[in-house]
Each structure stands twice: as structure tokens, then as C-alpha cells.
Amino acid sequence: MFHVSEESNIDVFHPRIPERGDLDKNKPLVWAVDENCLANFLTPRNCPRVCFQISPKTTIEDRKAYLKLSNHVVAVEKAWLQRINETTLYLYEFGSEGFKLQDESAGYYVSEIIQTPSRKIVIEDIVHVLSKYNVELRKLERLWELHDNIINSSFRWSMCRMRFAQPREV
């Protein structure tokens, strides 16, 4: 289990009230992600992104339509590339104790108890690390068309921080 942050000095993770409107505001949580979906979070925190990867349910048609270089894509707006290249990330690793699956498609796990990371990994070259995970970093002017298509696809997907995305074209 992993938590990705731009903060370098987190010794203990205390449960926090979730920002998402679809979650119980009375249950503070510590968030983590599994290794299969870790690449979806290897961007600056507020970077909007459309992430998708093959699953056992992925159709041949979807593979042909959306996959070019890899079976896992993290699509970002071109306007974020400089920030991606300049950001250092800190990858905090946890054991699985106390975590439960919250969203299988996105790889989210949550814990209602304080969590202490077992180690911290510094990531200074995000693009290089994504390539080591065999992830295609796709650069687009806008994300909304891909967002709408992937939501209706057979891929395993996660859409992150879309409230920060460039507006839809009119």
C-alpha cells in the first residue's frame, strides 16, 4: 500500500475527513493505493488526469481504439508538463494491516486508524518512474473527451482532480 505526497516530512498519517461528496463526512480516513494503480498518482496532487488500464473485461475494440504504447495510460493536460517535470514526490509505503478496499477500479484503500509508513521513497523524475512502470504518459490539450469515452469503456479506470481540468470546449 502506498500514499503519494508532495510533502516530504510525514511521519504518521492521521485519518482525515474525506473531501469527496459521496463519502461519509463522519468517518475520517487514511488513503492508500495498491501497486497496480500506483502510477495513477505519480503526478502533482492537483494535476487533472484520466487513467486507464486493461482488465479482464477489456474488449479488443477498446484496446485498438485507446491503447498505443502500453496497456496502462495516464493522460494529462500539456499545460501540466512543466509542473510534472519540476515536482518531487514522496512515496510512503504501508503494510496492509488496517486497510480495506474502498474502490477496486481505482485501487483505493482506506484505513480508519492512524498509519505509520514503513519507508519513504523520493521520486525526483516522475516521467522516468512512469516509464519504469511501463505507463504511457499521454499529453493532451484537454481531457474531457477522453474522460467521457473512457468512463463508457471496458477499461479499469480512475479520473483524478478533474475539477482542475481545462473547461470543456464549446
Q: Give residue 131's identity as a one-letter amino acid code.
A: S
Residue pair 156/74 in contact (Cβ under 8 Å)? The answer is no
Average the pLDDT over 81-93 and give the result: 98
Contacts of 42 (CB under 8 A, 6+ apart): 4, 74, 89, 123, 126, 129, 130, 133
Average the pLDDT over 112-134 and give the result: 97
Q: Say whether 31 sits in a helix, a strand or coil.
A: strand
pLDDT tier at 162, thresholds 50, 70, 90: very high
Residue pair 49/74 in contact (Cβ under 8 Å)? The answer is yes
Per-residue cell: 41? 498518482
Residue 66 pLDDT > 90: yes
Average pLDDT, the chain: 95
What is the Cα–Cα distance from 111 to 31, expressed in whole angstroms? 7
Residue pair 59/168 in contact (Cβ under 8 Å)? The answer is no
pLDDT tier at 45, thresholds 50, 70, 90: very high
- Give the count of beta carbons closer than 10 Å to the beta carbon of residue 151: 12
pLDDT tier at 24, thresholds 50, 70, 90: confident
The neighbouring-strand residues paired with 32 are: 109
- Give the count of beta carbons closer than 10 Å to the beta carbon of residue 46: 12
pLDDT tier at 134, thresholds 50, 70, 90: very high
